[in-house]
Amino acid sequence: MPLGSKRIGLVCPYGWDTPGGVQSHVRDLAEYLIAQGHQVSVLAPAMDEEGLPEYVTSAGRPISIPYNGAVARILFGPVAFARVKQWISNGNFDLLHLHEPAIPSISLLACWAAEGPLVGTFHAASTRQKIAFAITPFIEPVIEKLTARIAVSEAARETLQIHLDTDAVVVPNGIYAKRFANAHVDERWSGNTIGFIGRFEEPRKGLAILVQALPQIIAAVPDVKVIVAGPGNPVSVIEEMQPELRSRFTFLGRISEEEKANFMSSVSIYVAPNTGGESFGIILAEALAGGASVLASDLPAFDSLLGHGEYGTLFQSENSEDLSQKAIDLFADPSKRKALARKGSDYAKSFDWDVVAESIYDIYEMAMVGHSGVTLSSDSRAWNKLLGRNS
């Protein structure tokens, strides 16, 4: 077993009970490490402590702030700092793995509070970050404490270089590719269908772009349907549509991991019309693994993940006409669409946790060289000043 059994602490900055790519990544990584025999504890904000997995410790209730074109649920401040220090003290960790340690969150607090082998994973990808790097003078000396840095994509790595003038090793997000490969077609979602999964009320997820493209798609594919999964209130979205489009949409709400795999195996095209703020695109990797033919906006992260169009189809971001034309082309040529999906499915195996974890293990081993374990930092004066304390 790689590394031997280790005590590993993972810190998730975002509310555990809110769907998101970072939360999914931390959850999957924790469960993979546990399955490999490691002792893992995750610290995360949580709205409801009831029903948390046994390996998750709540750092308290998060607050909502605008961030990266969305609303992030994070936790920060003196009370959170005390809880972070207590978790570190009780954990006796061999290594801490902090996610998004460059934003005001418990990950940044943990980076300040701890000494020893510290690994940071950076997910954000935007050259226009404001809130995330608003306290850069305080962040830079903290980030220097990290023994190793990971970026989930080249876009995330570039963001890190621009804002904090530091570098990272690129290790992509992991997925359980085998789970998706074993999915089956659900007749409810098959036929001439377009699939979409995400927090559809957030403008940056781009559902409005798909709605704008739909009339032209209908003209070419009269029986096309759109199946939407994910959290949100569909009423407000439906009310803004043209009346003749409303019957084309089915909103499923949140779906299970098994249902998601079947969803990807069933829809004709999986569309990701996101307009920005994406650093990797776990959902695209999962769509590929499930055998979907992917049509995505040409954001840098999506372009990179799809091999610049080799494993999926790209359209010009925020261009509904280009989206509709690319979708029509895919519907018009089923053999080409299915061949692209098969190629994408094979490629998705490179994102399986068995592959990705090997790179993470290498980084963990490097981080632990020369360190006996994680301890609490004795120097908290600068951090106390940031938190509004006098001592």
pLDDT tens by residue, 156-207: 999 888 888 889 999 999 999 989 988 999 999 999 999 999 999 999 999 9
Distance CA 59, CA 105 (A): 11
Q: Quick one: average pLDDT of 287-314?
A: 96
* 7-174+352-386 and 177-350 in the same fold: yes
pLDDT surpassing 70 at residue 389: no
**Collapsing DSSP states into helix, strand and coil, what is residue 282?**
helix
pLDDT category of residue 72 using cuts at 50, 70 and 90: confident
Contact 294, 183 (CB under 8 A): no
Per-residue pLDDT reduced to its tens digit, 195-254: 999 999 999 999 999 999 999 999 999 999 999 999 999 998 999 999 999 999 999 999
Sign of CA pseudo-dihedral 112, 113, 116, 117 = negative
Distance CA 245, CA 242 (A): 6
pTM: predicted TM-score of the whole model, two decimal places: 0.87
**Collapsing DSSP states into helix, strand and coil, what is residue 146?**
coil
Q: How far is CA 225 from CA 79, 230, 245, 266, in A?
A: 49, 17, 10, 12
Distance CA 134, CA 18 (A): 24
Q: Which two tokens stand for residue 40?
A: 């893992």
Distance CA 379, CA 115 (A): 10
Share of the chain above pLDDT 70, in %: 91
Question: What pLDDT was estimated at residue 69?
Answer: 58
Cβ burial of 345 (10 Å; 0-12, 13-18, 19+) is buried
Distance CA 290, CA 59 (A): 35
Query: Could you tell me where the DSSP H helices lie in the chain?
Result: 21-35, 78-91, 106-113, 136-143, 154-164, 177-181, 207-220, 234-239, 243-246, 257-266, 282-289, 300-305, 320-332, 334-348, 353-368, 381-386
Half-sphere exposure of 4 (CA within 13 A, CB side): 4
Distance CA 29, CA 36 (A): 11
Among 2.40.50.140, 3.40.50.2000, 3.40.50.720, 3.40.140.10, name the CATH number for the domain at 177-350.
3.40.50.2000
pLDDT surpassing 60 at residue 364: yes
Distance CA 282, CA 288 (A): 10
pLDDT surpassing 80 at residue 3: no
CATH of domain 7-174+352-386: 3.40.50.2000
Domain assignments of the chain as residue spans, ordered by start = 7-174+352-386, 177-350
Distance CA 62, CA 49 (A): 12
